[in-house]
Amino acid sequence: SLPPTWVLYFSLPTDVFLKRLESRELIEGRADDSEEIRKKRLDVYLSQTQPLVEFYRERGKLLEIDATPSIEK
């Protein structure tokens, strides 16, 4: 039989997400992190990904990981 299926979800507050992308744009000069694209990414997440997060959470299949700490932590 197959092992139970889990979904890993790295949770991050919206303000931290946007700030990290803004910093990455400034540091790395990435065109794909512009303010317009950051907003679009957030819109896509809210409309397409967040409902899936709730779907798996309701079924007890979501393993939520706090993505707020730095990579080192």
Write down the pLDDT at residue 27. 86
Write down the pLDDT at residue 22. 86
Q: What is the distance of C-alpha 46 from the center of its chain? A: 10
Does residue 13 have a pLDDT over 90? yes
Write down the pLDDT at residue 2. 54
Write down the pLDDT at residue 71. 76
pLDDT per residue over 35-53, tens digit each? 888 889 899 999 999 999 9
Residue 70's closest CA among 37, 33, 6, 23?
23
Mapped onto helix, strand or coil, the DSSP state of residue 11 is: strand
Write down the pLDDT at residue 61. 92
What Å distances lie between residue 58 and 4, 14, 49, CA to CA? 15, 22, 15
Residue range 8-36: mean pLDDT, rounded:
86
Residue 23's closest CA among 33, 36, 32?
33
Which residues make Cβ contacts (< 8 Å) with residue 1, sequence separation at least 6? none
